[in-house]
Amino acid sequence: QEEWLHQGRAELRRAIMVSRRHNKNLAKNVILFIGDGMGISTVTASRIRGGQLRGEKGEENLLYFERFPHVGLIKTYSADSQVTGSAAAGSAILTGVKINSGVVGCDSRVKKGNCTTFTDKTRLKTIVHAFVDEGLSTGIVTNSRITHATPASAYAQTPHRGWEGDVDMSSGADTADCRHVDDIAKQLVRNNSNIKVLLGGGRRYFLDNETADPVTGKIDQYQRRDGLNLIEEWKQDKILRNESHSYVWNREQLNSVDAKTTNYLLGLFNPSHMDYDVTTTSQSESRQEPNLVEMTEKAIQILQNDKNGYFLLVEGARIDFGHHANSAITAITETLELDEAVKAAVRMTDSQDTLIMVTADHSHAFAIQGYAPRGNDILGTADPGVDSYPLDGLPYTTLGYTNGPIFNRADLSNVDTGSFNFRQQGCIPVSVETHAGEDVSVYGMGPMAHLLHATHEQNYLYHVMEYAACVGRSKKYCKSKSHRRGESSQPSPTRGNKEERRGGQQKRQQ
C-alpha cells in the first residue's frame, strides 16, 4: 500500500512541476518521430517487453518517450476513410490538412490514382517546405524506402502513394493522362534539392536500368526506365552549388562521414526497404546497414551545423511491416529501436530550444488479451482464467490480432512463441493484417509541447510544429515582422492570438 501511495504522490509532484514550467521559447529545432503503426497497444506491449529484457516484471516499465511531460491523443481517420493509411496520415501530420487515403500531399479534391484534379491549386506545402522557405535546414530519416508513404509525405505531391519510381507510374491510375505527374523519387531530387539529409532505403528508384546496384551487383527490375540516374543528378547539383556532400550506401561509409564538414548527405542503404532490426542485432558490428539510432545521430550532427535551426523527420517504418505479417516480436523490437533513437535525439539536443514529438500515423488490429499474471512473458501464452477458458481447450498467446494471414488455431503447448519466426494468430483470414482506427498517442517535450494536451485531430500536429518554430502561416501569429531568426539583438517572437491580446503579450524567449 505505502509503495503505491508513494508512487502516486511522486507522480503528482512531477505533474505539478511540469504545469509550472511550460516552455514557451521559440523552437529553433523540431524533431518529429513517427512510429509507423505504433498504436497504444504496441506501445504497451513494447513497454512490458523492454522491462522484461532487463529482468524486470515489465508492467511497471516506461519507454523513454513515455517519460515526456506532455501527452495527447490523436484521431487518425482520413478525409474519406474511418481507418487511415500511412500516406493520408503522414500528409495530415506534415501538411496540416486531412486528405484522401492513398494520396500524398494533395488536398481532398484529389482521389487516389486520379490525375484530373492534380494541379498547383491542390498541392500542399509541408513542414519541410516551411522550414526551407525560412532558409533553415531539413532532414528525413527512415528505415523504409525514402520514397515510401510516410517519408514521401514530407516532400512529395502525387495522386498515388505507389508511384515511387517511373516504373510504377501506370499502376493504379484511373485516368489516361498523368504525364504532368512526376514519380516520387524524381520529385525528391529535382523539387527538393535543399533537403540537407536523406537517409533510408529505396536505392532502386534512383538508379537507371543500365547501372548495377553497388551492393547486389545486379540490375533490379524496379530501376528507372527513363535513363535518369538520380543519384548522379543529386551529386551534380551539390557540385554546381559548391556544397560539401556525401553519398553513401552502407554502414561503414555512413560512420566515416565527417558531419562537421558535410552540408548534404544522401544515404540509400538498400534497393528496397532496409533490414529489420531483428536481422541485424545478432550481427552487431558486422552488419552492413546502419540502424535507426545511427542514422538519427548522424542526421542531427549534420543538421546542427545550421545554427539557425532545423527540422528532422525520423520514421520507425518497420513496426508497421511486422504487424502486417502478424509478427508481434518484430513490431515490438522495432518500437524499442525507435525508442533508442528518441533517447539519442534528446541526449544530443537542448530541450530549451528543441521541440521533440513522438507519435504514430495509425494503429493496427493488435490486442493484449487474456488474464496472464503480472510478469508473465508478454510474448508467451495467457492464463485464460475460469471465466474465459478457450472452448477448444488450446492455449493462446497474450498478444494477438483480430485479422491477418495467420488464422488457423494450433496447439501452442510446445511452441516457442517468443521466436522471431513465430506469428500470432488472427481471427479473420486476410492476406495482410490491417490497420486499426482507434486514436494513437503523441508525446512531446521542449518549446510549446504543452499544446499537446487533449484529444486532437491528426492535422493539428502540423500546426503545433509550425507555430512552435514560427514558420509558414504561423509567422503572422507568433513573431514580429522585424524579428530575424538567429539575431539575438532583435525582439523575441511573441504570440499574437486573441487570448493574449486580452491578457497581454507573452514573450517567447529565443
Return the active site residues: 86
According to DSSP, residue 158 is labeled: B
Closest of 220, 287, 285, 280 to residue 250, by C-alpha: 287
Render the burial of 72-83: b for 16+ CB within 10 Å, e for the rest.
bbbbbbbbbeeb
What's the grid cell of residue 246? 556525401
Q: Cite the DSSP H helix spans in 389-428.
A: none
CA dist., res. 32 & res. 93, Å (int)? 10
CA–CA dist 345, 334 (Å, integer): 17
C-alpha span between 181 and 187 (Å, rounded): 9
CA angle 147, 330, 90 (to 5 degrees): 35
In contact, 331 and 433? CB cutoff 8 Å: no
CA gyration radius, the chain: 23
Distance separating alpha carbons of residues 277 and 341, to the nearest angstrom: 13
CB 148 within 8 A of CB 142: yes
Q: How many CA atoms lie within 13 A of 329 on its CB side?
A: 16
Residue 240 class from Cβ within 10 Å (0-12 exposed, 13-18 middle, 19+ buried)? exposed
Query: What is the distance between the alpha carbons of residues 351 and 69, in angstroms, rounded to a whole number?
Result: 12
Closest to 456 measured CA to CA, from 447, 465, 137, 427: 465
Count Cβ atoms within 10 A of the Cβ of residue 132 and give its class: 0-12 exposed, 13-18 middle, 19 or more buried: buried
Please list the residues that pair with 199 across neighbouring strands: 141, 267
Q: Is 34 strand, coil or helix? A: strand
Cα torsion 283, 432, 272, 299: sign: negative
